[in-house]
Amino acid sequence: MKKTTNWVMVVILICAAIIFSACTKDGDTIYTPDPADRASTAPLVTVVYDPNALGDRGYNDQIYQGVEKAAHQYGLRTMQLSPASVNEGLTYLRMMLETMAAPEDTTRRLLIVAAASYDDYLRQNNSRLDANPHADLLYLETDKPLTGKGSTFFMQYYGAMYEAGAITPVEATDVLLVGANPLVKPVTDAIQAYTEGFLTSPINTSGRPEKKLVTTWLSREVSGGFSIADTTAIRLLTNQEWNADRHLLVPVCGGSATNFRRLIEMFDIYDFVGIDCEAVSAHCNFSVVKRIDRAVEHCIEQWLSSSGMPKHQTFGLADDYTGVVIHPYSNDSKSRFENLLSDELRQRIHQEAIRKEELKTKDKE
């Protein structure tokens, strides 16, 4: 009887270790709870990502860095969960809500959900945290606040993407704009903004080549398009519809942008715009940056304060949470922008981008 009991306990411990371990898409363990942590009363921040999100060298990795920076500064414990599938992510989320719903102690816990894939489940179950005054929730990114417990924020990308479209060099007569899918609002807003800036740019004056823009989607599912095979990327890059003498790729598709970037570097084809973070490459003349790490760190600071996090907040171009960075990585890139953009013109485009973003925000309100 004793041996059977011990065996059951071993199985339970193994299962617990599997459930509570988070892995990258390469299978590397990000976090496994240390038994010694059980005695700690330090606040715990848990993040649940989209499937295979970590390792994208952009948006999701910045969230990870922002959480860890805040943890280091304020002495927090963290658990970052990167599931292999939507179902596994829902299992993580269900488990965390069940654990946090019961106020068994006074340890402060913050659950950060960094995935639109779980939107329906989260909105139907976030009220389960109401009974625990020590538990809180932060859902990013959405422009629709949660009903019941939990805070949200939205990174308004319209202004920065509009500015990026407006400063795109007119020599880039063939632009391929790739979106992950049309069901994630930050993606569709970014696509719309870049297109508007691109088509109405003051640098596309008479006598210069007419610029052509082709938009395509990688998926039609809310969780799709953020991770693709190289073969899919190659098919898009070699499509004759946009295969002109000069071409520019604008990848608004999360981790899939890494596939495109790697192939462009490997085969010396296309230029590309860095999306969500600065890209160091001779093929990248400029980047649109989304400083999501700063936003997440700021929200954690608010959570730790006596006033707590606001119910909903928006960050954007006017307060420098997003922006456009021109890279002087090559003489060709530098001279191209110097010939097209005076300081006065660049500032005029920037202010117009802020105005467009403010109008977009008011429309949502």
Residue-wise pLDDT for 314-358, tens only, equals 999 999 999 999 887 655 556 667 666 788 888 999 999 999 999
Transcribe 297-349 into DSSP letters.
Answer: HHHHHHHHSSS---SEEEE-TTTTSEEEEE--SSHHHHHHHHHH--HHHHHHH
For residue 30, pLDDT over 60 is answered with no
Q: What mean pLDDT do residues 198-207 have? A: 71
Give dist(CA 18, CA 84) in Å, integer: 13
Mean pLDDT over residues 98-119, rounded? 89
Confidence (pLDDT) at 192:
95
In the chain, the percentage of residues whose pLDDT exceeds 90 is 52
Rg (CA), the chain: 22
pLDDT for 364: 63
pLDDT at position 253 over 70 = yes
- DSSP assignment, residue 30? E
Confidence of residue 11 (pLDDT cuts 50, 70, 90): very low
Q: How confident is the model at residue 281 (pLDDT cuts 50, 70, 90)?
A: confident
Q: What is the pLDDT of residues 52-69, one digit of tens each?
A: 888 877 888 999 999 999
Rounded Cα distance between 37 and 99, Å, is 16
The single-letter DSSP state of residue 241 is: G
Contact 249, 286 (CB under 8 A): no
Residue pair 163/324 in contact (Cβ under 8 Å)? The answer is: yes
More confident residue, 14 or 79: 79
Q: What is the pLDDT of residue 58?
A: 82
